[in-house]
């Protein structure tokens, strides 16, 4: 099956419009969006969202029957490459995390009633959501160790547990909570997902956890990572998403496309840092010449261009595999781009910051913020080590030990076999005097 690299002209026009729109409307807004606060940001984004809707680019990650465009992962990837240049651009396009992933969960596993109550208002931008799975006491790389429990009590489920890094949890209208419903089941059949309105009794938002990316204290801001205690939280039986024990299966459907979107957004960030590095090299003099004339800087630019191109092609290929063969077939490709893309993101930003020196280290440039953001990429949606392990195991499954543990390329053995096979030719050669 061939892979077509072309982008049809109509969609390329949409991409061109998006690129200009994000630079003209979103980039200026990003410099003050924290000053605006959550309500101010909503008000500023609203007219931009309407322009996106008028253009037919709203919530493109979902199929048409759910209000999206059904564009597939390749087109979505190309869009996210543009949206990734700004942390608030996805808000204007109705596909900001975690709402985009949660809408996919609801579309996949939600009942008609759940879709009416939660999905459609979420798509319209009238509600916000959070995905509440990560726990402070258990390793996020091994979700089979989750401790949060949900116990059936008549026509209700009772949830008890402690979560953190529930992104946007402090401003969400509802949370999708992963909890163990059958601790004696097989590891990946123990947990289930539940829709929990944030104002349900027993849901306590403790704080938004300060991070390397957002090191200041806050509560209730967009992009915060909430720490939440669930204590005796009662939800009706119909709050269950899908069947009991299907939490991990549903999560994987969410994480596959999400990882592709992450990697394409990282390329957008990397490209912006790359442009800053190249611009700096054209005017900054040091030790008698422009930085652009220094071999080290030239090497950084060339290496960055090559690495970004490699990451881009790898990511679009993973998206193509998912579009044409399904998520399972793309598992290795997605793991590859996850750790490779995170490394490229970090390296490009690091070089750009180095070229800028103290200016890049200061908050007068966005590079220091990008650098802090990039560090988290190595463990978002699974740490690098787990993805490397996945790739290696899948590759090694295609190999087996050679007979007698003699390497297949062992030259003395191959030579002896060749002599036997071509003995009639070797015997016809004249002897060396």
Exposure of 323 by Cβ count < 10 A (0-12 exposed, 13-18 middle, 19+ buried)? middle
Tracing tokens 């490779």 back to the chain, one arrives at: 340
**Residues 269 and 85 sit within 8 Å (Cβ to Cβ):** yes
201, 156 Cβ separation under 8 angstroms:
no
- 70 vs 22, more confident: 22
Cβ atoms 157, 220 nearer than 8 A: no
In whole angstroms, give the CA distance from residue 210 to residue 242. Answer: 33
Strand pairing partners for 285?
Answer: 290
> How many whole angstroms separate alpha carbon 226 and alpha carbon 208?
4
What pLDDT was estimated at residue 259? 87
For the segment 73-89, the average pLDDT, to the nearest whole number, is 93
Tell me which DSSP letter residue 22 carries.
I
Q: Supply the pTM of this predicted model.
A: 0.90
Residue 62 pLDDT class (50, 70, 90 cuts): confident
Smallest CA-to-CA distance from 141 within 391, 386, 392 is with 386
Q: What is the mean pLDDT of the chain?
A: 92
pLDDT band at 38 (very low <50, low <70, confident <90, very high): confident
Q: What is the DSSP letter of 403?
A: G
Condensed to tens digits (0 to 9), the pLDDT of residues 139-177 reads 888 888 999 999 999 999 999 999 999 999 999 999 999
Contacts of 55 (CB under 8 A, 6+ apart): 14, 17
């Amino acid at each position: 099956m061939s892979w077509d690299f072309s982008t049809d002209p109509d969609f390329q026009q949409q991409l061109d419009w998006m690129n200009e729109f994000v630079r003209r409307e979103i980039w200026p807004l990003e410099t003050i969006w924290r000053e605006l606060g959550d309500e101010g940001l909503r008000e500023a984004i609203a007219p931009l969202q309407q322009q996106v809707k008028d253009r037919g680019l709203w919530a493109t990650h979902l199929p048409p029957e759910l209000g999206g465009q059904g564009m597939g992962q390749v087109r979505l990837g190309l869009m996210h490459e543009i949206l990734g240049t700004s942390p608030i651009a996805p808000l204007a396009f109705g596909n900001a995390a975690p709402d985009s992933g949660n809408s996919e969960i609801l579309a996949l596993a939600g009942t008609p009633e759940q879709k009416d109550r939660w999905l459609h208002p979420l798509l319209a931008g009238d509600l916000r959501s959070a995905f509440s799975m990560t726990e402070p006491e258990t390793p996020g790389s091994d979700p089979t160790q989750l401790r949060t429990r949900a116990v059936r009590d008549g026509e209700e489920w009772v949830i008890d547990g402690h979560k953190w890094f529930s992104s946007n949890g402090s401003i969400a209208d509802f949370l999708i909570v992963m909890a163990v419903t059958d601790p004696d089941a097989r590891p990946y059949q123990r947990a289930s997902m539940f829709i929990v309105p944030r104002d349900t009794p027993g849901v306590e938002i403790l704080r938004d956890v300060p991070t390397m990316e957002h090191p200041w204290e806050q509560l209730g801001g967009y992009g915060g990572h909430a720490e939440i205690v669930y204590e005796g939280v009662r939800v009706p039986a119909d709050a269950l998403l899908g069947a009991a024990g299907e939490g991990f299966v549903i999560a994987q459907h969410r994480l596959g496309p999400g990882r592709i979107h992450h990697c394409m957004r990282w390329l957008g960030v990397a490209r912006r840092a790359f442009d800053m590095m190249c611009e700096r090299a054209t005017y900054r003099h040091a030790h008698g010449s422009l930085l652009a004339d220094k071999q080290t800087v030239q090497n950084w630019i060339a290496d960055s261009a090559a690495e970004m191109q490699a990451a881009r092609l790898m990511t679009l290929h993973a998206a193509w595999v998912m579009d044409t063969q399904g998520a399972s077939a793309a598992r290795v490709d997605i793991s590859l781009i996850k750790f490779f893309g995170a490394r490229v993101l970090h390296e490009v930003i690091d070089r750009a910051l180095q070229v800028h020196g103290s200016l890049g280290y200061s908050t007068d440039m966005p590079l220091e913020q990008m650098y802090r953001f990039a560090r988290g990429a190595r463990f978002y949606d699974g740490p690098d080590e787990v993805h490397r392990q996945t790739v290696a195991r899948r590759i090694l499954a295609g190999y087996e030990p050679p007979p007698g543990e003699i390497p297949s390329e062992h030259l003395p053995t191959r030579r002896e076999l060749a002599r036997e096979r071509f003995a009639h030719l070797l015997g016809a050669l004249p002897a060396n005097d």
